[in-house]
Amino acid sequence: MAAAYLESQIAKHAGETAELWQEVETLYTRKLWHQLTQKLLEMVQQPMFADDGLVQLYEQFISDFASKINQVSYVHLCLVVATQIETPEQALEFLGNIKNQVTADTAATVLVQAAIAELHLRLNHESECQAQLREAEKLLDQLDGVTEMHGSYYRVAAEYHKHKANFAEFYINALRFLGCTDINTLPVEDQVQRAFDLSLAALLGEGIYNFGELLSHDILNALRDTDKAWLVELLFAFNAGDLQKFEALDNHWKSSPDLAANTEVLGDKIRLLALMELVFKSPPHMRDLKFDTIAQAANVTEEAVERLVMRAMALGLVRGAIDQVEGLAKLNWVQPRVLDLQQVGALADRFATWCEAVNEASQQMELQAPELFVQ
């Protein structure tokens, strides 16, 4: 059947296309499976298959030698074929059969499971999508390093959590997907949408109080020349706990339905970040912070300071104790964060100040007790 199919394609086409099919026939006849697979992966992207023909290519040709070629490449071919199957339900059945064929290859199984999960998501089969993702996640642990299969899994997992409005889980998986992907291979429109979605997730995600990883990622460059460039400014404002900047940008973020609907959530988060920034900027020996100092930094009343500090402690953002009698928050630790350049500069200034203090102390010791210093 495969030989007959190739002969029909050679007879059907002319010129360079016919030569291409003749090359495929030669590779098939000589059983050069790797070269044949690479040629087919190129061919299925060409205009000759733009409208139809992929299902016929699979049924009459690819299926003939499926077990002889690299199983990940085989799945890649099948995923392209699935795009021309008439209905999503039929595509699911097709990919389910492919999954059964490649169970011996972990990487290929993860790849096809991610595709199956994505189809279930399109059909709003949430439980089936989640089940496929769970199976794929277990298999990922068996793969060494970070592979394209990780990227496929994280991409679909991010879409699932976006669909469920699980901002924190979306944020984690979307960043992991970008960690497995060269963003230059993504269309510009896709880069802009991903940067926008990630920014919203960072701002609204429960438990996300560190924006450094996102702020240092090139994906945000996609927003800089768009009408959503203010989102980058807003992220920097949150990362620094800058309430003034947050309020100055309210005309922008209030124009976003998702952000406008969560004004209270955003206010709570940036006040916690303002507290973290205050602790971070304070020298270690000066972290007994007065309630009025915290109130001013976080823009809350003094009566609300204790509740703010207790919440920050409960979330693991700071550690210490509260002295109600003295009206002090004695904070000795702040959660580590990825710092932006301005924060790194502030840290460098503090380090320089510390070095000067150590040098002064050393000089005083040498003057007062020279016998302790050996020349």
Check whether 22 has a pLDDT greater than 90.
Answer: yes
Residue 78's pLDDT band, with cuts at 50, 70 and 90, is very high
Q: Is the pLDDT of residue 368 over 80?
A: no
pLDDT greater than 70 at residue 344: no
Do 91 and 82 meet the contact criterion of CB atoms below 8 Å apart?
yes
Q: Which of 355, 359, 339 is nearest to 347 (CA)?
A: 339
Is pLDDT at 183 greater than 60 in this prediction?
Answer: yes
Taking 70 as the threshold, does the pLDDT of residue 235 lie above it? yes
Confidence (pLDDT) at 156 = 98
* Residue 372 confidence (pLDDT): 63
**What are 293-306's pLDDT values in tens digits?**
999 999 999 999 99
pTM of the predicted model as reported, rounded to 2 decimal places: 0.87
Report the percentage of the chain scoring pLDDT > 90.
Answer: 77
Q: What is the percent of the chain where pLDDT is above 70?
A: 94
Span 261-289, average pLDDT? 92
Mean pLDDT taken over the chain: 91
Q: What average pLDDT does range 171-191 have in this prediction?
A: 95
- The pLDDT score that the predictor gives to residue 66 is 96
Structure tokens at 205: 């995600």
Distance CA 52, CA 42 (A): 16
Tokens of 248: 């100055």
In contact, 312 and 271? CB cutoff 8 Å: no
User: Of 37 and 366, which is predicted with more confidence?
Assistant: 37
- Residue pair 235/199 in contact by the 8 Å Cβ criterion: yes
List, for residues 93-144, the tens digit of each pLDDT value: 999 999 999 999 999 999 999 999 999 999 999 999 999 999 999 999 999 8
- At 55, the pLDDT band (50, 70, 90 cuts) reads very high
Confidence of residue 365 (pLDDT cuts 50, 70, 90): confident
Sign of CA dihedral 102, 107, 108, 113: positive
What is the average pLDDT across 38-45? 94
8-12, 34-38, 283-287, 363-367: lowest mean pLDDT where? 363-367
The predicted structure's pLDDT at residue 213: 87
Q: Is the pLDDT of residue 26 over 90?
A: yes
- Look at 2-11, 203-212, 332-341 and tell me which has the smallest mean pLDDT: 332-341
Alpha helices, DSSP H only, in 180-331? 188-204, 212-215, 230-239, 243-248, 250-253, 257-260, 263-281, 291-298, 302-314
What is the pLDDT confidence band of residue 339, given thresholds at 50, 70 and 90? low
Gap between the Cα atoms of 23 and 283, Å rounded: 72
Predicted pLDDT at 373: 61
Residue 172 to residue 202: CA distance in whole angstroms:
9
Residue 150 has pLDDT above 90, yes or no: yes
| pLDDT, position 312 | 96
What pLDDT is attached to residue 123?
Answer: 96
CB 40 within 8 A of CB 2: no
Residue 340: pLDDT band by 50, 70, 90 thresholds?
A: low
Domains belonging to the chain, first-starting first, are: 155-250 (no CATH), 268-336 (1.10.10.10)
Of the listed ranges 227-231, 278-282, 351-355, the one predicted with least confidence: 351-355
Phi, psi torsion values for 85, nearest 5 degrees: -75, 140
pLDDT at 375 exceeding the cut of 60 = no
Alpha helix stretches (DSSP H) within 44-147: 54-60, 71-82, 88-101, 106-122, 126-140
At residue 343 the predicted structure's pLDDT band, cuts being 50, 70 and 90, is: low
354 has a pLDDT exceeding 70? no
pLDDT, tens only, 277-288 = 999 888 877 889
